[in-house]
């Protein structure tokens, strides 16, 4: 039995979707807004987002629209 490893960005995406579903943030909010929620971990997540071509000014909806986090 092989256990599938979930990409860290999938976990983050699920957390952000949960925040949107809870109406704590809106899909139209900018990605920098989640920095307030991640605190000390934000530096790591910001680096990850930038590596995938996002900017902190992008709307959260663009993060939620990603279907696969391939690192080729």
Tens digits of per-residue pLDDT, 25-56?
999 999 999 988 888 999 999 999 999 999 99
Percent of the chain with pLDDT over 90: 74
Token pair of 27 as six digits = 């899909």
On whether the CB atoms of residues 18 and 52 are closer than 8 A, the answer is no
Better-predicted residue by pLDDT, 52 or 6: 52
Q: Using CA atoms, how far apart are residues 19 and 51, in angstroms rounded to an integer?
A: 23
d(CA 22, CA 45): 21
Lookup: tokens for 72:
């080729």
CA–CA separation, 68 vs 19, rounded Å?
20
> Whole-prediction pTM value?
0.85
């Amino acid at each position: 039995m092989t256990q599938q490893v979930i990409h860290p960005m999938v976990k983050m995406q699920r957390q952000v979707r949960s925040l949107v579903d809870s109406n704590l943030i809106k899909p139209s909010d900018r990605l920098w807004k989640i920095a307030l929620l991640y605190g000390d971990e934000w530096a790591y997540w910001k680096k990850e987002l930038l590596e995938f071509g996002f900017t902190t000014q992008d709307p959260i909806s663009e993060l939620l629209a990603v279907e696969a986090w391939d690192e080729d």
